[in-house]
Amino acid sequence: MTLDTVYALATPMGQSALAVVRISGPQTHGAISQLTRREPPAPRRAVLRRLLEPQNDALIDEAVVTCFSGSSSYTGEDSAEISIHGSVAVLNILAEALEDLGLRLAKPGEFSRRALLNGRLDLARAEGVAELIAAETEAQRKHALSLLTGALADKVAVWRNELVSVLAILESAIDFVDEDLGEHWIEHAGTRADAFAKLLSDEETQADITEDLLAPSRIVLVGPPNSGKSSLLNALAQKDAAIVSDIPGTTRDVISSRVVVDGVAIDVVDTAGLRETSDSIEKIGVQRAQAELKRADLVIFLISDDTFAEAAELLKGGVPASEVFWTKSDTVSPNPEQLAALAPASVRSVSVFDGSARKAFREVARSLMQKRTTAISPIAGSQRRKRLLSEARELSSSAASLIKDNRIELAVEDLRSAANTLEALVGEIGSEDVLDEVFSRFCIGK
């Protein structure tokens, strides 16, 4: 039973056309009637009301108020949403008024935590809510939605059924253990337990691949000074993220910009032009560029006619160049000798002035993404889920070896623990630690 009634701003703080303040808990409807000096509106009906300060009758603002009863609210408690003008001053007065009425500010994720405690959400769906709010890309949105709509719960149900039927075979085989029939069934159960452990192990691999897909990949731009790295970054980011000039050695810091290709986030990283230099600041820049080469998922080496000699030196020195962009192609294209010197790298001629640079970048990014599979595992994105899956896999494979050794009772125990562990993936309740881990990722107001 939760007794506190809590409130929180559900929209970002600051100036905006509208802001939404959310209230949940037993005193919600009382607070609404005190604020409006009227009966609360019927549930799920948005009505315009004047909000008045509790101490005097001063007007706070006019607002659209919607009440929800515990039976049909997100949290499973009486709750309300107040849509008010998005003004910092108005929001501050409303917060003071709600505090005066005995409400307290909600903790991060507290609304969802209450929904979980009231059986409105399971843990996996709660995680989906947090991930959906945080999603910046199409891949992240799809992954969060699959959690939110119960993809993990469906998977766990299938896994659980398989474990239950292996358990049933083992338990009845125990009764016939001295007969041939028992041996045959035990062997069959052993094979299935083995296959099940393999299935969970495949899911772990899939989860790792999905995490790669969800995390932005890093494409690093390198090359000699003046080869057009910062110009390319700006063209891709569609803003002046980095200073561009015809003075070699302009960029010293590592500058990155998030670019989305086909719904997948990519961090494009501009670096200092690589060269020997006596300038101590530029030297640090070159070291940072070299460190970026090590972190890159893919490196694009930039080269232009006016920087060809320096670039050839760098390539001799072993700078990676699986992808080469010949820049400033609106002025000079590579000649056959230059192309021969760059072989076997595939060279794309690009210019930031005619859209070819963006097009070439998208092609390269797509080929990088194709190397990653598109199947999304609902396990990905949470240490908690990965830990439980790996525990269940270990228990299943230990059960399989125990069956081979004919230690059936111990195998049964392991399989039961595996089933419980898998159920905890979507668990309707969890220990306080687990709940803290899940809800620490939420923002206030959700």
Ligand X SMILES: Nc1nc2c(ncn2[C@@H]2O[C@H](COP(=O)(O)OP(=O)(O)OP(=O)(O)O)[C@@H](O)[C@H]2O)c(=O)[nH]1
Binding positions for Mg ion, 221-240, rule CB under 5 A = 229-230
Closest separation in Å from C-beta 418 to Mg ion: 54
Scanning 14-22, 43-51, 63-71, 243-251 for contacts with Mg ion by CB under 5 A, the matching segment is 243-251
Nearer to Mg ion, 74 or 301 (CB): 301
Should residue 256 be labelled a site residue for Mg ion when binding is judged by CB under 5 A?
Answer: no
Closest CA to 302 of 283, 281, 274, 277: 274
Closest separation in Å from C-beta 318 to ligand X: 19
Q: What are 219's strand-pairing partners? A: 268, 298
**Residue whose entry in the numeric block shows the structure tokens 């393999």:** 198
Closest separation in Å from C-beta 265 to ligand X: 23
Cα distances (angstroms) measured from residue 309 to each of 225, 247, 252, 270, 341? 12, 17, 21, 21, 11
CA dihedral 403, 406, 408, 411 (to 10 degrees): -40
- DSSP one-letter code for 305: G
Residues 30, 43, 249, 430: which binds ligand X (CB under 6 A)? 249
- Ramachandran region of residue 109, left (φ > 0), alpha (ψ -120 to 50) or beta? left
Scanning 49-57, 248-256, 310-318, 406-414 for contacts with Mg ion by CB under 5 A, the matching segment is 248-256
Cα distances (angstroms) measured from residue 341 to each of 184, 251, 312, 324, 337? 67, 27, 8, 12, 6
C-beta of residue 258 within 8 angstroms of C-beta of residue 267: yes
Should residue 428 be labelled a site residue for ligand X when binding is judged by CB under 6 A?
Answer: no
d(CA 264, CA 253): 25
Should residue 348 be labelled a site residue for ligand X when binding is judged by CB under 6 A?
Answer: no
Q: What is the DSSP string of 46-91?
A: -EEEEEE-SSS--EEEEEEEEEE-GGGSSSSS-EEEEEEEE-HHHH
Residues 5, 79, 140, 250: which binds ligand X (CB under 6 A)? 250
Scanning 75-83, 209-217, 348-356, 430-438 for contacts with ligand X by CB under 6 A, the matching segment is 348-356
Mark residues 188-227: x for contact with ligand X by CB under 6 A, - for none.
Answer: -------------------------------------xxx
Mark residues 351-370: x for contact with ligand X by CB under 6 A, - for none.
Answer: xxx-----------------
Should residue 328 be labelled a site residue for ligand X when binding is judged by CB under 6 A?
Answer: yes
- With CB under 5 to 8 Å by kind, the binding choice for 137 among Mg ion, ligand X, none is none
Closest separation in Å from C-beta 346 to ligand X: 19
C-beta of residue 425 within 8 angstroms of C-beta of residue 152: yes
In this structure, the strands spanning 255-261 and 104-105 are: unpaired
Residues 125, 229, 384, 446: which binds ligand X (CB under 6 A)? 229
Q: Which residues lie near ligand X (CB under 6 A)? A: 225-231, 244-246, 248-251, 272-273, 327-328, 330-331, 351-353
Q: Which residues lie near Mg ion (CB under 5 A)? A: 229-230, 250-251
